[in-house]
Structure formats: structure tokens, C-alpha cells
């Protein structure tokens, strides 16, 4: 299929950057150019800010029912266009078509969830101490939002922020990912065609540092939402804090996996391998640090290695592909360095470890065992198809390792013991823990981390609160 040259969406219109500057978009399966995306400059950002500010009051006072209806139409358009959008996403991001379509369809479910939740964003009456006093809390949209999204899930990461903002009555400027611009643009097109007023949704691309440093301090922006790495998130959260602006931060992780001796090993291997190598491991909640109880470790490792070796790696154009390329060429030397560092310090490379071919950015599913705790991969998020497997003797040892790092996004465990599960859910320091299955990322459940993995949540009812402010009213008589 043909790939579009992506433009900016500002004040209800698709338009090139004022400077006509563009960035090249590459196909990760071939390394060749796909198309271009417009590169926003200060004039473009000013236009987006003006549009978001001018429409905010109107959208804020639009009835929640009407906002819901418009958003539900956008969800239906997204479903109707899912095949075309998934094809574009596969080209620009590399994930197989089935995964891209699944992400697109899930995006429609997220829109529906927030559309309905926005109808329930109301305050409450607080019983007063005197009979002629009324006390109320009022929930209202916080203001225009600046949202910054990454390339690994081009629809998912935009649609959560966009839907929460619109459902709460906020206008928004989305800084989309330059590596994967077409699918977010198609998503925004669904909202525009559904009848969202001009200026409520604005989409820009360009230099991340330039755009964030201009938008976040700007007086029009009242709320910041960012998904990305922990170091960048800390910088942006600090910048938002200087201007007293609330910030939702969904940052990096380094998810521990605990498999106990009473686990269903076959189920654990099947589910964890599918999760680990989904999107070539470029997932913030990807299971990474595996800890297997000693008595079942050989059984688990042998089966997991065979599973990794059976994964069909190839371009999205091949319907048999189960794992596509890395989205960025720069990830290849980073992964190679992590593997060399681990092996150099005593780890065993069980399978994988290399780039596949010379065209595109494919990398072998990789399994390391007996990985020393001081190695890079045991302390830094690999964001690729690499698993580090170690063993443990008892529950205390496993929990201590799970909690060793300052990250706290996702954690996983397999055990048939109810009492152990109860202990894990209380003692594992993670924003999310999934036991005996992978149950994260649904629209109705929280999605967020603690510690260095972020602030706030982007799923479930709690996500809407970040886009609302509470005012208290008391009157007598």
C-alpha cells in the first residue's frame, strides 16, 4: 500500500509546517524511506496553542452526553478503518499486521470506555454542620493539555491521553512520534470526521526537546502527560513542576517475573514468551527479569528456549511473521552491548544474541541465564527481545530481587498457592502485578507505575481525574 506524507493537524485543518520542513520516515523492515512527516516550528506551535485555548471554554461547556456521542462516532470510524490503519502501522513501526490491527481495535474500545466515563465525572454534596448551609464539590476540565507519546504503540499511547482529555472537557495538543506518524494521524482523523470541533484536537510532530521546552512552560497549557523513558520523564516532570502544572508520567519499567515450584510451567512458558516477544520486546511492561525457583528452573529454561527459537521473525508483509523488526536501528548496538556485557561477566547465552541479516532491523529472540545482578541488563530496561533468567531458592529471595530496582511499573508471578499470591500482591512494589496470566492494559483497569516508573494512571476511572480539577463551593441560605 502507499504511505502518506503526514502533515500537522491544527485548528481543524491538515497543513504543512510554516517552514515547510519535513522529517524522513523509515521502514524498519528495510531501512529505506517510506515517506515524510511535517516538522513543526514555533509558528506552528503558537497556532496550535491559540486553537486549543480559543475552543477550550466551548468544549468544556459542551454537555458530557454530546461529547460522549462524538467520541463514540470516532470509535466506530476507527473500527471501520482498522485494516488500513494497521497496514500503515505495520509499515512504519514493524509489528505484524495482526498485532497492529489488535492495537487499533483496542484503541476503539478505549475511546468507548472514556466516552462513557466522562458522563460520570461529577462532584458530590457534602453534608453540612448547619441546616441552611450547602456544601458542594464541582469537577471541571483542567484546561488545554500537552501530551507527548512514543513510537512503540502509535495508537495506544495517543488514544489514552486523547480520550481522557476529550471526555473530561479538555482541548489537547498531541506531540506524536516522528518515527510512526501515520497511524496517530489516522486516529486524529477519526475524531475530526466524527465532529470534534476545530481546535479541540491538535497534532504536531518535530524535535521532541524543542516542542516540550516550548509547550510545557507556556501559560496556555495547564496539564502535561508524557509516556517515555524515565530520564526524559524526570526532566519534563521537573519542568512542569516549575510552572505548577500537574503531570501524568508513564515511564520505563524492568518487569520482574517470579515462577514458583508449584506453577503451571507449560502455561507460564507459553504466556510469558508470547508477552516478552510481542512488539519485539519494545513494551514498557514487557517481562524481563525472570526468576525461576530452582527445582523447576531447568524445565522452564529448556521449554522457554525452545519457544524462543520457534518464533518466526520477519516483516509484517509476511503473514507468518510472529515478531517484526526493532523500530529503530539504534537499538541494535544497544542490545548487542547489553548481551556482550552480560556474557563477559559470566552469563550464558542460551539462544539468539545477534542481528538477523543486513536489511532492516531484525534481531533474534534472545535468552540469557545465570546473569550476574550487576550487569547492565539486570539494571537497565533492554526494550528489546532479550530475557535474563536467574534462579532462586525461597520466597524471600525472589521478592527481594523483584523489589531491588527503583522501577515499579509491572510485575508477574506464577504460583498455585493462594497464600503466596496474597503475599505477593502486598509485598511486590509495583504499580501493577499480574498473577498466573497477563491481565494489563484493559481500558477499565489502572495502568501506571510507582517509583521511577511514573506518576498517575492512564487506565480506568482514575485516569480521568488527572484531567479534572476539583472546586469546593459552600453557601448559606
Question: What is the Cα–Cα distance from 208 to 45, expressed in whole angstroms?
Answer: 12
Sheet strand arrangement including 145-148: 13-15, 8-10, 201-204, 172-175, 145-148, 223-227, 247-250, 454-455
Question: What is the Cα–Cα distance from 132 to 417, expressed in whole angstroms?
Answer: 56
Q: How many CA atoms lie within 13 A of 295 on its CB side?
A: 6
Active site residue 250: yes
Query: Cell numbers at residue 255, please?
Result: 518487569
Active-site option among 7, 178, 250, 381: 250
Question: What is the Cα–Cα distance from 134 to 128, expressed in whole angstroms?
Answer: 6
Active site residue 117: no
Query: Cell numbers at residue 91, please?
Result: 509499515
Q: Where are the beta strands (DSSP E) in 265-306?
A: 287-293
Q: Which of 406, 397, 373, 441 is nearest to 258 (CA)?
A: 397
Cβ proximity of 93 and 183 under 8 Å: yes
Active-site option among 178, 179, 284, 364: 284
Q: Considering only CA atoms, give the Rg of the chain.
A: 23
Residue 154's H or E segment, with its range, is none
Give CA 346 to chain center in angstroms: 33
Query: Cell numbers at residue 450, please?
Result: 510507582
Q: DSSP secondary-structure letter at 313?
A: B
Question: What is the Cα–Cα distance from 338 to 344, expressed in whole angstroms?
Answer: 10
Query: What residues form DSSP beta bridges with 375?
Result: none
What residues are annotated to the active site?
Answer: 250, 284
Amino acid at each position: 500500500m502507499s504511505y502518506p506524507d503526514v502533515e500537522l493537524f491544527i485548528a481543524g485543518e491538515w497543513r504543512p509546517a510554516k517552514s515547510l520542513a519535513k522529517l524522513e520516515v523509515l521502514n524498519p523492515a528495510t531501512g529505506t524511506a517510506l515517506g515524510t512527516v511535517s516538522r513543526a516550528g514555533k509558528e506552528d506551535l503558537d497556532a496550535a496553542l491559540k486553537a486549543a485555548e480559543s475552543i477550550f471554554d466551548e468544549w468544556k461547556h459542551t454537555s458530557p452526553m454530546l461529547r460522549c456521542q462524538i467520541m463514540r462516532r470516532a470509535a466506530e470510524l476507527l473500527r471501520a478503518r482498522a485494516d488500513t490503519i494497521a497496514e500503515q502501522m505495520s509499515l512504519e513501526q514493524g509489528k505484524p499486521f495482526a498485532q497492529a490491527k489488535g492495537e487499533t481495535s483496542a484503541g476503539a474500545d478505549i475511546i468507548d470506555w472514556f466516552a462513557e466515563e466522562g458522563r460520570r465525572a461529577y462532584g458530590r454534596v457534602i453534608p453540612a454542620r448547619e441546616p441552611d448551609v450547602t456544601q458542594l464539590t464541582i469537577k471541571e476540565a483542567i484546561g488545554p493539555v500537552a501530551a507527548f507519546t512514543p513510537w512503540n504503540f502509535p495508537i495506544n499511547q495517543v488514544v489514552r491521553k486523547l480520550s481522557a482529555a476529550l471526555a473530561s472537557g479538555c482541548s489537547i495538543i498531541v506531540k506524536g512520534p516522528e518515527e510512526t506518524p501515520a497511524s496517530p494521524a489516522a486516529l486524529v482523523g477519526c475524531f475530526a470526521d466524527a465532529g470534534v470541533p476545530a481546535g479541540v484536537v491538535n497534532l504536531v510532530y518535530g524535535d521532541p526537546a524543542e516542542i516540550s521546552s516550548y509547550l510545557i512552560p507556556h501559560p496556555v497549557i495547564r496539564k502535561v502527560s508524557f509516556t517515555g523513558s524515565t530520564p526524559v520523564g524526570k526532566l519534563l516532570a521537573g519542568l512542569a513542576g516549575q510552572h505548577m502544572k500537574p503531570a501524568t508520567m508513564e515511564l520505563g519499567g524492568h518487569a520482574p517475573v517470579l515462577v514458583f515450584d508449584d506453577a503451571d510451567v507449560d502455561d507460564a512458558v507459553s504466556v510469558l514468551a508470547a508477552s516478552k516477544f510481542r512488539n519485539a520486546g519494545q513494551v514498557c511492561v514487557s517481562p524481563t527479569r525472570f526468576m525461576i525457583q530452582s527445582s523447576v528452573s531447568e524445565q522452564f529454561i529448556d521449554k522457554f528456549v525452545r519457544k524462543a527459537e520457534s518464533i518466526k521473525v520477519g516483516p509484517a508483509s509476511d503473514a507468518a511473521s510472529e515478531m517484526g523488526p526493532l523500530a529503530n536501528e539504534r537499538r541494535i548496538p544497544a542490545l548487542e552491548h547489553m548481551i556482550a556485557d552480560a556474557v563477559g561477566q559470566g552469563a550464558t547465552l542460551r539462544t539468539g544474541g545477534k542481528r538477523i541479516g543486513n536489511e532492516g532491523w531484525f534481531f533474534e529472540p534472545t535468552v540469557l541465564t545465570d546473569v550476574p545482578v550487576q550487569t547492565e541488563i539486570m539494571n537497565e530496561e533492554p526494550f528489546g527481545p532479550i530475557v535474563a533468567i536467574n534462579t532462586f531458592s525461597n520466597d524471600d529471595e525472589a521478592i527481594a530481587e523483584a523489589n531491588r530496582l527503583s522501577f515499579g511499573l509491572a510485575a508477574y508471578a506464577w504460583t498455585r498457592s493462594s497464600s503466596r499470591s496474597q503475599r505477593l500482591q502486598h509485598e511486590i512494589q509495583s504499580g501493577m502485578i499480574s498473577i498466573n496470566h497477563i491481565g494489563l492494559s484493559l481500558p477499565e483497569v489502572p495502568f501506571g507505575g510507582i517509583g521511577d516508573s511514573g506518576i498517575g494512571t492512564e487506565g480506568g476511572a482514575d485516569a480521568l481525574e488527572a484531567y479534572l480539577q476539583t472546586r469546593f463551593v459552600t453557601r448559606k441560605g
